[in-house]
Chain A
């Protein structure tokens, strides 16, 4: 297997076509491939592919333009007369089609525009979908790789020690190999590369991790089992994304070093992982685990073994592990495919977006088909004349087909350009938490996808009208007044069908948009339990290894006091970690209330601990419901105190007063409950987290608290310089490495995906609505125009304007109601797909359905009203003159 795959096939094909002679082309393609592989090694595959395209096109152009090419080709065999005539025919058709499209600039630009938009977005989604979801992970036999999470019966994840992982590895029969991955997934930490500070997400793995995956490096090598031996130099592998973003794709990156700021560990970069290896999600670099890091399992199943077999074997091995026996409650294991683990929760939203794009594309095709059909109607005379002077059915159909093809080609080309631009910006628009976004950039140029989409569109919208138009009705169309007769009834039925389906499809999108928007509203409107306004989270880089020992608590205390003194800071507290970090940010403990034994609390999951100082509740704006928060007096030597959240109080002391009760938390220390705080959504957004708060100074081991919450009475930007200066003055090695407002944490974290989803679907919904309205308007206009004669007679016979207007409107509304009915039924069954994306909104939410129907109806009435009004202004004499 070649490491870098083949050069872009499209470019090779173009080159071969341009050069013609097989042997010559082979030599050139071979030369270019050779250099392509060198460039893959030095510049990365993407740059190499770009280079290949450029060079191939240049060479192709040279060969095509060369004057002696004709001679070349002529010797290869001439074109016989038969074929030449056919080509000339097609050329004539083409020229004629161009002329006729040019004569109708409005129609042409509208259809091309609609097609370009639809093909552009369709292609983009197809390429992104293909890259992120369908293109396999860069590992060998991905279907045999699984991730395993052990859980207590109560739901808390149970991580294993490196020794446990070894034990499982030794004893397993169902798994060929077992490796460990840091149970926290990835952790964002400040590091320096020479003098350059970076913030990168580290994942920790056991030495056989990459071997188990069967991944191949993009550059250099990956971590090997030898790296885990005693005395081996610490090494790291960086992700493709990091290589591109933070090292500029530098081919010399191997050998450079990353040094962690906090504990000054230094790692030599030995290689770059292949693009798309986003596991654990968000990993910027991988190092070997530290001895105390707890791990989750990733395993390669033995051939023929099922995940279920591995799960039951694992459970039996796990039951003998000390760590598992020590804790309360039964243990369960869940096994997920690597793909599920690496895609996280991105799949439903991507699937939704892809489905939405497909619907939009369909609407666009139907719309353009409708436009073509109307145009064909207007040209019915032309058709009939052509047929009358001897043109066959096929010839006329061909003319229309060539026109459709031209429109498709123009729309396709523009759409391709749009898609390429969109693909470039898409990775930047995707929420930060999106996995594998670098794969979008890796998506092979979307030519194939665009071609596919355009062909599909052509087949849907081009063929039908061509056939319908070519049939033409001699008798009716040749009548002097050009009025329609029964021959157009079939065509009109097709048109109505098209309008009805557009309305139905648009409604499906609108309902989807409505549901996601409602869900977003619910999420954004959640009672958080803390005050977002004016709250910021600041992370301080502290090389605390220099302060190890008893001096650390003093140092932290002094640092906090200095920061508190900064003008504009109203209050400040150390906190455990920044919000929404999932299991990483939290330390858990199993509390045992006084007077009860551990047996009683069995089944109670571990409860997250938060730490803070006397300004904690004030800074975060968490309400104290009973008792008090922390004070300055809750120091190292004072009585151990705790504040519990509402949920914790309700769980341990239902209906009782928790104040004064004691809890055993860590080792044998007793903590007295002095306050009850309101529930918060600081760790997780969708559910409040039951929490026990402790004063940070009272923990037995002073923790390295490098994250502080700051409440300021002015803009963060104006406070920050003084904070940086205060840190620098205390110790030049201290610095702020990350700072974000709480509002940003909410927007980029739990609200990012819902917002993207709602935004995208709403945009698509609006576009669909517009297109459907356009279709309705077009059909109604045509109907009014066709029936001018009719209407004239009615008017002459005394029908009032209002009466006629109502008739036209009724007609339009009938179509709308039909389309709406079909759409509602379709939406009801499709919205179930959205269920996993919805929060506190049912997939059949009546408000979303009613809202979408209402909007659709309102727009439809407007779209139908305009032609209806024209009907009433028909002048009877004019209409009847013929």
Chain B
């Protein structure tokens, strides 16, 4: 096992022993139970729609909370408490520390989303809709946007405290989502001025991918209160489903933010 793999396993073990991720996991399960109960109150196709609305809300808001919570404390806390100092003093490289901290938290986020996703599939079975493939795809697509948010908060955590890192991570998410909304508006000729600038910024900026299921819900105005259609110049903009290039670009940004985190940690004093 390489030093980086050992450090990642160590970070995962420490993460699994913290209480709040388990509380978040349980709270998410509670929300899903509520969504299932509400869905059971509906009939026919409305049942699945109700469950999907609950799922999109949970995966967005709950996922953001978990991603920001994981990312914002990934480098600053261990730098200040002496944990990274202990490891660097023993011979660990700072690059390995950053990679292991980020990777462990991405795995933690993936585990939380996978368990929520599995619970949602159980909910779909309970309401009699069978396994919901579109919802599973949506969960995976949301995970990429949340990974971007986590990486942004982690990059900030290399130089600032937890609260500021949460603000930065949330700002990156909102900016990326706004870019997606503006790009969708440009593609439908809803803006007219500054289209080239929006296209250029969209081409290089971070993106939040949209799943086919969410695109369908938005198109019908049924995506739930957490993901409403955006009004631009008096036109309601529904996001189109993202393709593989957008998913790949989002993951490129995750790696880039990991490099930013390393740059921040390279000369950071460690306790």
Chain B binds chain A: no
A residues with a Cβ closer than 8 A to B are none
